[in-house]
Amino acid sequence: MEFHADILETFPGICVAEGDIRSVRITRNSPNLDALKQEIIQQIKSRYTLDSVKDDPLFRAYRDFFWSVGVDPTKTRPASEALVRRILSGGKLPTINTAVDAYNLASAGSSIPIGAFDSDTLNGDLTMRFAAEGEVFLGIGMEKPVLLRKNQVILADPGEIIAVYPYRDSDATKVTTETKNIH
């Protein structure tokens, strides 16, 4: 991943891990994954309460990062925190497919937001940069594209914006049961 100079100047020390998983077979669900979900859910319930989540150092760091990029984390939570809060509120982790469910589970269990993209839909190397005036983005679950604010942090390939970083992935690059390669 390439970082534009202004990103590095604004967020010195920013670190983003990335990797690839090849030749995956994704299904709608898995009994083994469902069992692991229950195990992680119990760990989360024993580790946190709804009141204590905000005090977790990793959640606090991501909330601070959100504020620094102009995102109110009380309205748009880091994915890992949102998943943990959903569990603590009595909800269930969403069931999308085995790949998405696995990385959501890893995100909730580690307190680290995780995203993934269908590698075969990407058009080259990724770049983290600030959005330009007038750029639009269609995220997963959105009915219509939204106009981005100048200086929102985004991930893009040479052809399109694939994520508003670090909380919304693109519908065009989402991981589905047809996905064979993940980035």
pLDDT at 167 over 90: no
73-118 confidence digits (pLDDT tens): 999 999 999 999 999 999 888 899 999 999 999 999 999 999 999 9
Helix (H, G, I), strand (E, B), or coil: what is residue 93?
Answer: coil
What mean pLDDT do residues 48-61 have? 95
Give me the CATH code for the 2-173 domain, please.
3.50.40
Q: CA–CA separation, 182 vs 23, rounded Å?
A: 9
Local confidence band at 71 (pLDDT 50, 70, 90 cut-offs): confident
